[in-house]
Amino acid sequence: MSLASQIVTVTAINLRSIPQRMWVSLSTVVAVALVVAVLLSFLAMANGFQQTLRGSGAPDVAILLRGGAGAEINSGVSRDQLRLIEEAPGVVRTAEGKPLVSGELYVIVDAVKKASGTQANIALRGLGPEGFAIRDGFRLVEGRMYEPGAAEIIVGRSLLDEFAGFELGKQVRLGTATWTVVGVFEMGGTVFESELWADVGAVQSLFRRTNFFQSIRARMENPEAVSALNDYSQADTRLKLAVKSEQAYFADQAGGAGGFIQNLGWPLAVIMSIGALAGALNTMYSSVAARTTEIATLRAIGFGGIPAFVGTLTESLLLSVVGGTVGALLAYAFFDGLTASTFGGSFTQVVFSFQLTPELVVQGVVLALVVGLIGGLFPAIRAARVPLVAAFGEK
């Protein structure tokens, strides 16, 4: 008989004996499942966060901040600078000749999370009249638009779902003034849906920041015009604003916080894997010990040592793959689509949902396989070296 069919026979005998070691085998399955579930929950979280931020930016919208500011919250732009940008080359104009430029103010306000009842920072954005023309995918889904200059806000759908007290018609105290929620908007689940929007003039006066903006957004003729605008801005001493495409801006922020979550997930999973590995080794050594007479008997009959090796390794891989699959299913059941909010780049909450992708599941299963491979390798070597005289051993 060929080695291959010997391996098949011995492996089948091996696997069919797993129920006799049910509890210790189950402990390995559970340990691997937990490791994979934890890893995948972190990866799904990082992925969801990054997808949300990446999906938020357009390549042909320029965002202008004070040089070195990095994020809107640290930036400051004057009305004069806004006027200069309105005249800049490459800026798209409406049929009436109005430049699609929006000076915006970005204020941090408090809100209460529905899920935990805790306070968190959210963003109130004041937009210029052309702010909507610069944002693709904006849809007002309930109520109406705010009136220019009025203490009225519209709320993003994600924010409405996650935070309490922003239902249509509600009065909210933001800063020293009372604001009325007049509308609800959606914007494809992007970061903007985690914001409150109001007229920039109203925000300027009620937060006492007259003639002051934090960022300028401008719709450009094409993505190349964004970098041309940067050169233009750097060349003018009155401007010296840093220009990035909105896409690049959000990608930077996604890399920061998303990378942080991801960098937390893998080390944690690796540390947990070491625990699971110890469990797998223990399980497989006890499997070999329990099967010693069986293995030696097969060897005495004439079977080789390699089938015993392969059988043991297969048992280990099987247990860990089952564990990995259970872990992936757990992650899918409990985390996929789960909505969470966390700090975005500007110290305000960004609402996003966990996204488990097939690629991430593959990473989880690969980790499970590595645990199974290492956890089975040394016991498998022991199995291949079981002394034949053990066949005559004590019962």
Partner 1 sequence: MSNAPLIRIFKASKRFTKGKETITIFENLNLSIPQGDFVAIMGPSGSGKTTLLNLCGGIDRPTSGEVHVAGARIDSLPEGALSKWRAANVGFIFQFYNLMPMLTAAKNVELPLLLTKLGGAERRKRVETALKLVNLADRLNHLPREMSGGQMQRVAIARAMVSDPTLLLCDEPTGDLDRTTADEILKTLQLLNRELGKTIVMVTHDPEAAKYARRTLHLDKGVFTERDVAAA
Q: Cα(76)–Cα(3) distance, rounded to whole angstroms?
A: 75
Near partner 1 by CB under 8 A: residue from 26, 304, 357, 373: 304
> Residue 25: what are its φ and ψ, rounded to 5°?
-65, -40
Interface residue with partner 1 among 60, 199, 294, 315 (CB under 8 A) is 294
Pick the binder of partner 1 from 95, 235, 333, 389 (CB under 8 A): 389
Q: What is the rounded CA–CA span in Å between residue 313 and residue 58?
A: 51
Question: Residue 186 or residue 294: which is nearer to partner 1 going by CB?
Answer: 294
Least separation in angstroms between CB 280 and partner 1: 22
To partner 1, the closest distance from the beta carbon of 24 in angstroms equals 17
The Cα 373–Cα 318 span in angstroms is: 10
Convert residues 20-39 into a mask of x (bound to partner 1 by CB under 8 A) and - (unbound).
Answer: x-------------------
Distance, in Å, from the CA atom of 124 to the CA atom of 190, rounded to the nearest integer, reads: 15
Stretch near partner 1 under the rule CB under 8 A, chosen from 2-10, 162-170, 181-189, 372-380? 2-10
**Does residue 290 interact with partner 1 by CB under 8 A?**
no
Rounded CA separation 356/89 (Å): 43
Among 63, 71, 298, 326, binds partner 1 (CB under 8 A): 298
Question: How many angstroms separate the CA atoms of 227 and 83, rounded?
Answer: 19
Per CB under 8 A, the segment of 41-49, 132-140, 290-298, 337-345 that binds partner 1 is 290-298
Q: How far apart are CA 31 and CA 183, in angstroms?
A: 49
| Distance separating alpha carbons of residues 123 and 176, to the nearest angstrom | 16
CB of 386 to partner 1, least distance (A): 12
Chain residues 4-23 in contact with partner 1, contact rule CB under 8 A = 5-6, 9, 13, 16-17, 20
User: What distance lies between CA 39 and its chain's CA centroid?
Assistant: 12
* Least Å from the CB of residue 319 to partner 1: 17
CB burial class (10 A; 0-12, 13-18, 19+) of residue 331?
Answer: buried
How far does Cα 105 stand from its chain's mean position? 27
Please identify which residue in 207, 303, 335, 354 interacts with partner 1, judged by CB under 8 A: 303
Interacting residue ranges for partner 1, rule: CB under 8 A: 1, 5-6, 9, 13, 16-17, 20, 293-294, 297-305, 388-389, 391-392, 395
